[in-house]
């Protein structure tokens, strides 16, 4: 992302200003800042959800927003953004986790097998047949993370992923993310600060946002 500026429609101030940052593979980056600092906006631009008002977002050297629609779809499938309050589809937990696999053309049986592998890793098998309407905030967060992992993205963007999880589940997610990093996946976590991360989850880089600007970098 080069010289990124973003202003929400109808807003009188910039949500992001002069942000330039490169997101790489095989690393964990923490984007830290208070509420309103621009963390979520930054993740949504990195996730190719928001188009910056100014600046360029390039993927593999190509300006994403200049690509053809078919190319954009293929690039977006390599990146997953998980909101702090994720939106789940109607139906069961298993069906939700299978969804990204099904839209990529995987058969139902193979998709279910792959989804269940992820669910075992996150200790979610007891929720397989449960309706998403009945989930707690923490359970919904875990299901959204499982759904993202099932798609095997190259870059995972997590917005306050530990906000509704107890220490045990947070530690489990930390282990899973560390394993993905070792396999070359890039991980970006937005949180208020280093102290919000579970023990054992060490970011390679820390970006500090304040009032929409990068005020500091570590690592």
pLDDT digits (tens, 9 = 90+) for 4-47: 999 999 999 999 999 999 998 999 999 999 999 999 999 999 99
Give the pairing type, strands 205-210 and 28-32.
parallel
- Closest to 128 in 3D by CA, of 162, 120, 136: 120
If you search the block for the tokens 């994720």, which residue do you land on? Answer: 86
Helix (H, G, I), strand (E, B) or coil at 162: coil
Interatomic CA distance for residues 201 and 141, integer angstroms: 18
Task: Give pLDDT, residue 219.
Answer: 74
Give the bridge partners for 217, in sequence order.
207
Whole-number Å distance between alpha carbons of 96 and 9: 32
pLDDT digits (tens, 9 = 90+) for 50-60: 999 999 999 99
The pTM score is 0.93
User: What distance in Å separates the CA atoms of residue 49 and residue 41, rounded to the nearest whole number?
Assistant: 9
In the structure, what pLDDT confidence band is assigned to residue 200 with cuts at 50, 70 and 90? confident
Name the burial class of residue 12, with classes exposed (0-12), middle (13-18) and buried (19+) by CB atoms within 10 angstroms of its CB: exposed
pLDDT digit string (tens) for 142-151? 999 999 999 9
Question: How much is the pLDDT for 72?
Answer: 96
User: Distance between CA 98 and CA 109 in Å, rounded?
Assistant: 10
- Judge whether 139 and 127 are in contact, CB under 8 Å: yes
pLDDT tens-digit readout, 167-198 = 999 999 999 999 999 999 999 999 988 888 99
CA distance linking residue 216 with residue 209, whole number of Å: 7
Answer yes or no: are the C-beta atoms of 159 and 81 closer than 8 Å: yes
Residue 113 has pLDDT above 80, yes or no: yes
pLDDT value of residue 199: 85
Which pLDDT value is given to residue 24?
84
Paired sense of beta strands 213-218 and 205-210, if any = antiparallel
H helix intervals, the chain: 39-46, 69-76, 93-102, 108-121, 137-150, 167-182
User: Tens of pLDDT along 72-104?
Assistant: 999 999 999 999 888 899 999 999 999 999 998
**pLDDT (average), residues 124-136:** 95
**Domain 2-218: CATH architecture, name and number where available:** 3-Layer(aba) Sandwich (3.40)
- Ordered strands of the 2-6 beta sheet: 16-19, 2-6, 54-56
What residues does each domain of the chain span? 2-218
| Average pLDDT along the chain | 94
């Amino acid at each position: 992302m080069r010289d990124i500026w973003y202003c929400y429609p109808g807003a009188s101030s910039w949500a992001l200003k002069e942000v330039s940052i490169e997101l790489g593979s095989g690393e964990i980056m923490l984007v830290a800042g208070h509420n309103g600092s621009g963390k979520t906006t930054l993740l949504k631009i990195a996730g190719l959800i928001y188009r910056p008002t100014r600046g360029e977002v390039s993927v593999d050297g190509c300006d994403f927003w200049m690509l053809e629609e078919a190319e954009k779809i293929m690039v977006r499938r390599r990146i997953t953004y998980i909101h702090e309050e994720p939106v789940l589809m109607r139906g069961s937990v298993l069906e939700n986790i299978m969804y990204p696999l099904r839209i990529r053309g995987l058969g139902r049986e193979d998709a279910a097998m792959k989804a269940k592998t992820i669910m075992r890793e996150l200790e979610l098998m007891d929720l397989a047949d449960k309706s998403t309407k009945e989930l707690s905030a923490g359970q919904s967060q875990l299901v959204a993370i499982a759904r993202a992992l099932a798609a095997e993205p190259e870059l995972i963007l997590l917005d306050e992923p530990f906000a509704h999880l107890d220490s045990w589940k947070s530690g489990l997610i930390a282990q899973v993310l560390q394993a993905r990093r070792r396999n070359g996946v890039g991980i970006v976590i937005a949180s208020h600060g280093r102290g919000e991360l579970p023990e054992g989850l060490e970011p390679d880089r820390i970006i500090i946002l304040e009032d929409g600007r990068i005020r500091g970098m570590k690592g």
